[in-house]
Chains A and B, each alone.
Chain A
Amino acid sequence: MLTLRVIPCLDVDAGRVVKGVRFSGLRDAGDPAERARAYEAQGADELVVLDVSATPEGRSNATDTVRRVREVLGIPLTVGGGVRSVDDARRLLEAGADKVASNTQAAVDPPLIDRLATTFGSQCTVLALDAAKRQDGDGWELVVRSGKERTGRCAVAWAREAAARGAGEIVLTSWDRDGTRAGYDTELIQAVASSVRIPIVASGGAAHGEHMIAAVRAGASAVLAASILHDGETTVLDLKRALAAAELPVRT
């Protein structure tokens, strides 16, 4: 049967891995290609590279980083950040991405998802969905522009629409939990996973294996982690051992 995926995420700014809390306060966390190689050796099932500088500055030039990572990486690579068009996506795919994630632009221009899915296939079309708890506490709203803008739109409804338009996977990030190590927002995961059939990648807030087990039990097909791996607090292998100890299927 299909195994659960543990996915390190490299937030990349100007060719370096960075990591912050709630999408800001970025600090240096190494070279993307070196990180990529190390995580594959640890047993990573996949890698995500997000060009975090792309949207605020209105550019998308992660292609050099993607090319360097691809040369050494033998597992799937999802790339996001600043994907505004089919041509942007094609550039990233040609540089070595296997899947392309769109976030802000998909929210602004939802038919972009249809165009990406038609051109490259659903298996290649990923929605990066950043969601924040509504201030009145009732449900979650879609957040765009690297967390800088709350839209007021229902995050779960957007997930459903994106899946219907052809997205093949959702990287679901809790804005409230990102970088906090307080655990994934499992209520958010459950709400989205029960609304769509496509795989959900849980993101934002992981500190240890217990958080990942909770995300999987809430319906996630994969778990994403960044700072705990970059800081060397744990390894992909340790996280997978924790999942396996809970009798969840992992690739060993």
Chain B
Amino acid sequence: MTEKSAGLVVVDTGTANLASMLAALKRLGQSPELTSDPVALAEARLAVLPGVGAFGQAMSRLAALGLEDAIRARIAEGRPLLCVCLGLQVLCTASEESPGIYGICAIDARVRRFADRPGLVVPQLGWNLVAPLADSRLIEPGYAYYANSYRLEAIPEGYTGATSDHGGQFVAALERGPLLACQFHPELSGAYGHELLGRWLARARAC
């Protein structure tokens, strides 16, 4: 396995807490490299797009670095990509968090804020039960850690994945081949997250 960790890049989004993702990947024996270079992102065998603060800010950063096309291309070509939290949301067309700003538009869906309802704590900060769809191959049932105020309400056509419940069902994760986009943070989800990252790495390396 000389190339065990070759070509795993983590997109350096400037504001994200990248250290947790890097530490989690290192605990899995990987040697992730940070990049903000579109060519490196396009050419890497495996890529990770971590959570990045607010939707609008994230999109302007991705646009300024010229990374949108590389992300869109990886998805269109079915090449290994892991997106986390806001990394999932920016794949969509837009978000209530930043009205008037387009996302990457790889997924035809809009991101909305959790319902404003008495007794529903927002942001959702904590561990929630993840329930995979029957045809999910990567996601197991279990508890994962969330830190979000916005979410996708339904799994779009062409994807499998998992759901959780916080004042109603929402998308916990989307999956299609070696693309895994998690609303929760696998890198902060203890043994559950460690194992999920391990399965994604194995699937991605087999591509």
Contacts and interface: CB of A to CB of B under 8 A. Distances in A.
Interface of A: 1-5, 40, 45-46, 67, 70-71, 73-77, 93-99, 118-124, 168-169, 197-199, 221-222, 251
Contacts of A197: 120-122
Contacts, number: 108
A122 B129 contact: no
Contacts of B19: 67, 70, 93-97
A121 B92 CA distance: 19
Nearest to A43: B190
B129 A169 contact: no
Given A76-B147, A121-B54, A1 B17 contact: no
Contacts of A121: 53-54
B168 to A, nearest CB: 11
Nearest to A250: B127
Interface stretch (B20-28, B36-44, B132-140): B20-28
Contacts of B200: none
Interface residues of B, number: 37
B101 interface: no
Interface of B: 15, 17-20, 23-24, 26-27, 53-54, 120-129, 143, 145-149, 165-166, 185, 187-191, 193-194
A198 B149 CA distance: 10
A93 B127 contact: no
Which residue, of A3, A5, A197, has the highest number of chain B Cβ atoms within 10 A?
Answer: A197
B193 A74 contact: yes
Given A1-B165, A96-B23, A199 B17 contact: no
9 closest pairs, A vs B, by CB?
A: A96-B19, A123-B147, A251-B143, A251-B127, A121-B53, A76-B188, A123-B123, A3-B127, A93-B17
Nearest to B145: A76
B126 A3 contact: yes
A156 B90 CA distance: 36
A17 B148 CA distance: 30
A45 B126 contact: yes
Given A2-B121, A74-B191, A169-B125, 6 more contacts: A2-B127, A45-B127, A75-B188, A93-B19, A168-B123, A221-B125
Contacts of A97: 17, 19
Contacts of A120: 15, 17, 53
Contact of B125 (A93, A94, A96, A199): A199
Nearest to B191: A74
Given A1-B166, A98-B147, A123-B149, A74 B125 contact: no
